[in-house]
Amino acid sequence: MIKRRRVYSIIQAGYMDDKPSLAYDFTLMAAILITLAIAVFDTFPAAESCQNLIQAAETITVIFFTVDYFLRIWTADYIYEGLYSRGTASLKFIFSLAGIVDFLSCIPYFLPFTGDFLRIFRIIRILRVFRVHKYADPLHVIANVINKKKGQLLSSIFIVLVLIVTSSLLMYALEHEAQPDVFSNAFSGFWWAVNTLLTVGYGDIVPITFAGKICGTLLTFLGVGMVAIPTGILSAGFMEQVSQLKREEELEELKHILTLAEANAQARHEEQQQSIITSSSFAGNSAQHILQPDTPEDSYNFCPYCGHQLPK
C-alpha cells in the first residue's frame, strides 16, 4: 500500500536524489509547457486542421492536473506539518492561492464553456510552474524579498494610487472644456494619469491647453520618481537577501570547519590517551618482570658451578 507521506514527497518539489519526485516534477513541467504550446498554437489559422490532436493533448494534460489536484488535497495535512487535522488542512489548501490556481486550471474543462473562456483558463495553468520554483534560487530569493518588504511596497503603491487619482481629477478639470469628447469623465483622466505616471505614454489622450501641458510635464517628472520608489525598495531588499544568504553560507562553512577541527582534536586526544595507556601498561609489565624475574625461585638453592645444593 502506498503511504500518503511518500505520495506527498513525490508530488512536492523533490531533490536530486529522489528519482520518482524528479520524474513527477519534470512531467508537471512538460504538461505546463504543452498547455502553453496549445494556447499559442490555437491562435493560428492552422490550428483548425489539428483540433483532434489539440483536444487529445488537452484531455491528457487536464487529467494529469486533476489527479495532481486531488492528490494535493489528500496529502494537505503534511503541508502544514500536523498543525491542522486532515479535513481542516484540506480546506485550507482548497481555499489557498495554490489551491485556487490548481482548481481553475482543471475544472473549466469539465464545464460547458468553449472558445475564449477556455483559452483564459489555459493561461492560468502556466501559474503551476511556480510549484517547482525551488529549483530556481533567484525566484525563491525574489519571493522572500517581496514577503519581507510587503509593508513598504504596499505603502509606495498606496502613494502612487493617491497620486494617480489626484492627477486624473486635476487633468479632467483642466481639459474637459477644451476636449469634452476626450476627457469626458474622471475615468478618462485616470487612464491618462496611469499612462503618464507609469511612463507608458500611449499618446491616445494628450492635453492641449497650456495649463494642461504644464500639469502634464510636472506629473511626468513626478511619475518617474514614483515608479522608482518600489524599484528601489525591491533592489535594496534583494541586496540584503543576497548578503544574508552569503553570510549564511559562510557561517555554514565555518561550522563545517569547526566540526572537522573538533573531530580531529577529539581523534588526537583519543590517540594520546591510548598511547599513555599503552605506555603505562608496558612500564607496569617491565617493573613486574624486574621484581618477579622469570627464573624459578628454586634455582637459587643450587650452586651454579658444581650443581650441589646450597645450605638454606
pLDDT tens digits for range 143-200? 778 888 888 888 888 888 888 888 888 888 888 888 888 888 888 888 888 888 777 7
C-alpha–C-alpha distance, residues 239 and 150, integer Å = 16
For range 195-212, the mean pLDDT: 80
Whether the model clears a pTM of 0.85, i.e. scores above it, the answer is no
For range 124-145, the mean pLDDT: 66
Q: How far is CA 3 from CA 7, 9, 16, 65, 75, in A?
A: 6, 10, 21, 21, 10
For range 97-105, the mean pLDDT: 82
Q: Set out the domains of the chain in order of their start, with CATH numbers.
A: 4-135 (1.20.120), 150-261 (1.10.287.70)
Is the confidence at residue 294, as pLDDT, over 60?
A: no
Nearest residue to 143 via CA among 98, 89, 79, 104: 98
C-alpha–C-alpha distance, residues 267 and 64, integer Å = 55
Asked if 207 contacts 175 with a C-beta cutoff of 8 angstroms, the reply is yes
Is the confidence at residue 1, as pLDDT, over 50?
A: no
